[in-house]
Structure 1
Amino acid sequence: MPKKQPRNAFYFYMQDFKEEQRIKGIHYNNMAEVAEAAGPLWRDAPPPVRTKFEEKAKKEKQKYNLPDMKYTSTGISYAELERQEKEAKDAEASELKDIKNIVKLKCFNGAIIHEDFYLMDVNFFCKANNEYLIAESTVLRFNLQDGIKDQYHEIINPGQIPVGYAYDVKQGSEELGLEMPDEMQKKSNYFQILANIIDYLKQKDRDSKNMPPLFTMPDKVEAIRDFLHQMCSRAAEDDSIFRVYKLDALFFTLINAIKTNSDEGFPRESLALSQLKKDPFKYSPGIGCEIHEEADKSVMCSTSRVKRWAFTVLDSCCPVAGIEMQAGSHVPFDFDLEKIYTYKEQKKVRAAPSVANTAGPSASNVSTVSEAFIDAAAMSTVENPEKEKRTHEPLRMPKMEYSRHINVAPELTEDNFPSLSSGTGRGRGLSSSFKKLNMKK
């Protein structure tokens, strides 16, 4: 790389322009004056003239082995976009490798069922000036054996609303079921919230320098990272101490690591994400914070959301790991586990589909608890396997000629329509106009 940047096309044009003016007797004291005089001419120069000097600049770059820089319409070079894309791919590969190492290490000695995992979710009023105005935050701890253990929840007052974003904040507060931020009230202590989160993550091993990763849905990764960055910047803390990973990557890796049969788990990571997005426990009562429960907005609560994520993972993984689920820990309190297990035993002997000609599903392949409430029709089929199939009889004969029952419409002529009168209304004068047209010809 040269110490000085190679000259561009305009520089060579200025050199040529300066020489032409010198021959004419016009002299300039410095290159700034030359640039001022040659600038308008360069902007209006025809393509053949510009190409001549662009070729000179290209040869100049080739001397230093510099690549030709191409830019997008937004002014970002393609090289920069490729670099950002490569960094994102490397970060994703590193994240997946870290998750696999955590899971495989604990699966080696069977400690995976006691390994604590941490979920995090945030609600934000809006995004203002590339910064999220966080309204609520929840961190939850769970493992396969014990289910949901505890959570740390905070309602956050971001303080003064940025100029021009009051309406966005109002809309966000109505959607979330939270009150508008009160600028007269004291702003939430981000330093204290950060300390609480760090203590919560390190409660199992306070002497450890590394904190466990935080898992969330892909669409919440950016907001959570920004929230952690806001708190760390106020506390002069390095935000690299936090690792924010995608929950679907953990779900996919975890269930495939503990499975014992080939028909268990997920063949693709996208299926794990699809199961999480189904949100089978979405309308479970009593799992949100008090504020959202009173406002009947439990679905929007960050505490309710992380619990539903945990229930979804536990509902799929616990049967595969052979763990007996407990209401309130592995599934919501209102789920009748005895009926669910009875139904699953019945599903074990269900006949396989004749078209696909495949074996019937195993107990582990039908591990989701929510299926017991969705597939009620299939349950009745299992209880009455010899029940006759219902047939459908048409309500009318298909060969019946309905056209003979239709009355033919009478033929209409001009005599059936009255002529327009030349009154004082909106159609004044139309009748006389029609006569002038002589429409009978």
Structure 2
Amino acid sequence: MPPKKKTQKANGFMMFMIEMRPRLESDGHKFPGGLMDVHPVCTPLWNNLTTEQKAVYNQRAKGGPMIKEEKLDTRGVPLAWKEREEQKKIIEKSQVFQKIEDLVAHLHGQGTLENHYFHLAHFNIAVSTDEGEYPPCEMAIVKFSLVDGIASSIHEFVNPGQLRLGYAYEAGLHSEKTHKIPATNFEFFNNNYVAITNSIKRMLKQQDGGYAPLFFVDEDRVKAIYILEWLIEKSCELDNGYQKMNPFKTYSLNKLFYELRRYADLDDPRLRFTSTSQVSEYFGNGVFQFSPNMACKWHEDQDNVTFCSLTKVKNYAYTISDLCCEHYGLSLLPNRHVPASIADEDRYVVMPKVDKVQDAQQKTPVMKQDNEDEEEACESVPRLPNTFSKVVMKSVGPRVAANFGSKPQGVLPGAGRGILAGASPMKLIPEPITPGPPSQESAPSTPAGRGRGRGFLLSDD
């Protein structure tokens, strides 16, 4: 026969703990170990009760229920609590996915999806503790849209501060296996958490006074939520008057990629990923991560570009562009949608500007006239592929398309479907990158030549 479940008769103090637990949790206390964790918090409170007050709980315990001992896992965590937490995560993920679906559907309905800026982010951490702490050591964010590609970026080495006692060795191992950033005494660490947090706020600030969400890959969202709260707390420690409310929202980058691909043509099931897990595979392949000018200067010098946060976010943006832009009728701009080192002059044709933002009443694309300043046009024109697919014809119309040859030369087959993995490399003179001071915002450099993408400085073989 299986052993009987152990039970313990409730006493007055136990009844007091059961009553106080929800009150303490509402004040911010957490009790992952159940009543075992409530015990040290309630003990001084119980001792302060009068004899008459204790008698009330003792009397209640005499007719109270038998308390079953909670089943625990190997680490002493109640199984019932773990199940509740897992259920909460599933519900939260479903809610976040729904928000992204609603956002993309709204932008698509307004005709502004291609022009809308999304903020893709990545944090490197010094160490992960058993207490659920993820002190950061590096961060990067890019401002990205399907039309413009990467419009601007910020990159910082963040001082993780004093690590929890006993984790110095683990931090060293993690650094050696990944980003190589030392957890202490790193000369490029930025200790000004106020400046770091404010630089993020400036990038995310919207016209209505709110803040745009940050998109992280699913595997990093838990860390990101902790780190953003951590930055607010550190900023408050440096500045007593700093706003304590955390304005940052974290969304799923996997789900965003899934929806952007799907909305290129809702009637074409071939554009739909099977799941967000398939999206993770595309991000993980890192087709662009070894291209020049992807990482920060320090990681370039360390010959460790793949773990740089700046490489991560650029790879996210380039991967989305490679698999989505063609189906929206948008060509790939060097240093914005793809690394300039794999750009090809024949694949970049300057087209008359098509403003994707629709008029609120007419609901039709607004064409910009050709009598504007040439330099302004070069800086703002979204350009279209040399091949005129159905998507392109819908974007520019047959009249504009007829101005170009029906058989363009030098077109690389399969554009927008992992095209760049098999492209033959061209030698280009890379643009020098001058490392700037911490907390600087930087925009991707414009390729050499007159206007964007209208010529490259090619070195002789």
TM-score in terms of structure 1 length: 0.60
1:101-148 deviation digits (Å, cap 9, x = unpaired): 110111002100110000111111212453223111111110000000
Q: 1:374 aligns with which of 400, 419, 422?
A: 422
Structure 1 gaps, min length 5: 1-7, 13-56, 346-362, 377-441
In the alignment, is residue 158 of structure 1 matched against residue 160 of structure 2? yes
1:198-245 deviation digits (Å, cap 9, x = unpaired): 11110x42x423x21111112221221111111122345556522212
Moved more, 254-263 or 147-156: 254-263
Task: Note the C-alpha offset of 1:167.
Answer: 2.6
How is 1:309-328 mapped onto 2 (pairs within 5 angstroms)?
309-328=316-335
Q: 1:252 aligns with which of 255, 258, 261?
A: 258
Structure 2 contact 136–160 (Cα < 8 Å) conserved: yes
Query: Within 1, Cα distance between the matches of 2:386 and 2:188?
Result: 53
In the alignment, is residue 115 of structure 1 matched against residue 116 of structure 2? yes
The residue type paired with residue 112 of structure 1 is L
The residue type paired with residue 196 of structure 1 is S
The residue type paired with residue 416 of structure 2 is T
1:168-203 deviation digits (Å, cap 9, x = unpaired): 33333444133452189997122221122111110x
CA distance 1:158–1:263, shift in 2 (3 Å):
closer
Secondary structure in structure 1 of the residue aligned to 2:258: helix
How is 1:31-110 mapped onto 2 (pairs within 5 angstroms)?
61=65, 70-73=70-73, 74-110=75-111
Secondary structure in structure 2 of the residue aligned to 1:241: coil
The residue type paired with residue 234 of structure 1 is K
Query: Within 1, Cα distance between the matches of 2:285 and 2:148?
Result: 24
Structure 2 contact 160–183 (Cα < 8 Å) conserved: no
CA distance 1:282–1:160, shift in 2 (3 Å):
same
Structure 2 contact 254–279 (Cα < 8 Å) conserved: yes
Query: Within 1, Cα distance between the matches of 2:102 and 2:10?
Result: 55
Task: State the partner residue of 1:231.
Answer: 231
Question: Which of structures 1 and 2 has the bigger CA Rg?
Answer: 1
In the alignment, is residue 199 of structure 1 matched against residue 202 of structure 2? yes
Structure 2 contact 127–174 (Cα < 8 Å) conserved: yes
CA distance 1:373–1:154, shift in 2 (3 Å):
closer
In the alignment, is residue 335 of structure 1 matched against residue 337 of structure 2? no
Secondary structure in structure 1 of the residue aligned to 2:263: helix
TM-align CA RMSD: 3.6
Moved more, 165-174 or 246-255: 165-174
Secondary structure in structure 2 of the residue aligned to 1:194: helix
Query: Within 2, Cα distance between the matches of 1:193 and 1:147?
Result: 24
CA distance 1:156–1:102, shift in 2 (3 Å):
same
Task: Note the C-alpha offset of 1:85.
Answer: 2.2
Task: Note the C-alpha offset of 1:90.
Answer: 1.5
CA distance 1:181–1:99, shift in 2 (3 Å):
same
Query: Within 1, Cα distance between the matches of 2:251 and 2:188?
Result: 34
Structure 1 contact 157–182 (Cα < 8 Å) conserved: no
Task: State the partner residue of 1:32.
Answer: none
Task: State the partner residue of 1:188.
Answer: 191
In the alignment, is residue 282 of structure 1 matched against residue 283 of structure 2? no
Query: Within 1, Cα distance between the matches of 2:78 and 2:10?
Result: 21
Moved over 6 A (4+): 183-187, 339-345
Secondary structure in structure 2 of the residue aligned to 1:139: strand
The residue type paired with residue 86 of structure 2 is E
1:233-284 deviation digits (Å, cap 9, x = unpaired): 2345556522212211111112112225332232332222222222211211
Query: Within 1, Cα distance between the matches of 2:154 and 2:421?
Result: 31
Structure 1 contact 255–317 (Cα < 8 Å) conserved: yes
The residue type paired with residue 233 of structure 1 is E
Structure 2 contact 255–276 (Cα < 8 Å) conserved: yes
Query: Within 1, Cα distance between the matches of 2:311 and 2:88?
Result: 34
TM-score in terms of structure 2 length: 0.58
Task: Note the C-alpha offset of 1:367.
Answer: 4.5
Task: State the partner residue of 2:25.
Answer: none
Task: Note the C-alpha offset of 1:338.
Answer: 5.2
Task: Note the C-alpha offset of 1:344.
Answer: 10
Structure 2 contact 157–189 (Cα < 8 Å) conserved: no
CA distance 1:131–1:219, shift in 2 (3 Å):
same
Query: Within 2, Cα distance between the matches of 1:156 and 1:100?
Result: 33
The percent of aligned pairs where both chains have the same amino acid is: 24
Query: Within 2, Cα distance between the matches of 1:194 and 1:146?
Result: 25
Q: Greater helix percent: which structure?
A: 1
Query: Within 2, Cα distance between the matches of 1:186 and 1:144?
Result: 33
Moved more, 230-239 or 85-94: 230-239
Secondary structure in structure 2 of the residue aligned to 1:153: strand
Structure with higher RCO (Cα < 8 A, 6+ apart): 2
Structure 2 contact 143–150 (Cα < 8 Å) conserved: yes
Task: Note the C-alpha offset of 1:78.
Answer: 4.0
Secondary structure in structure 2 of the residue aligned to 1:86: helix
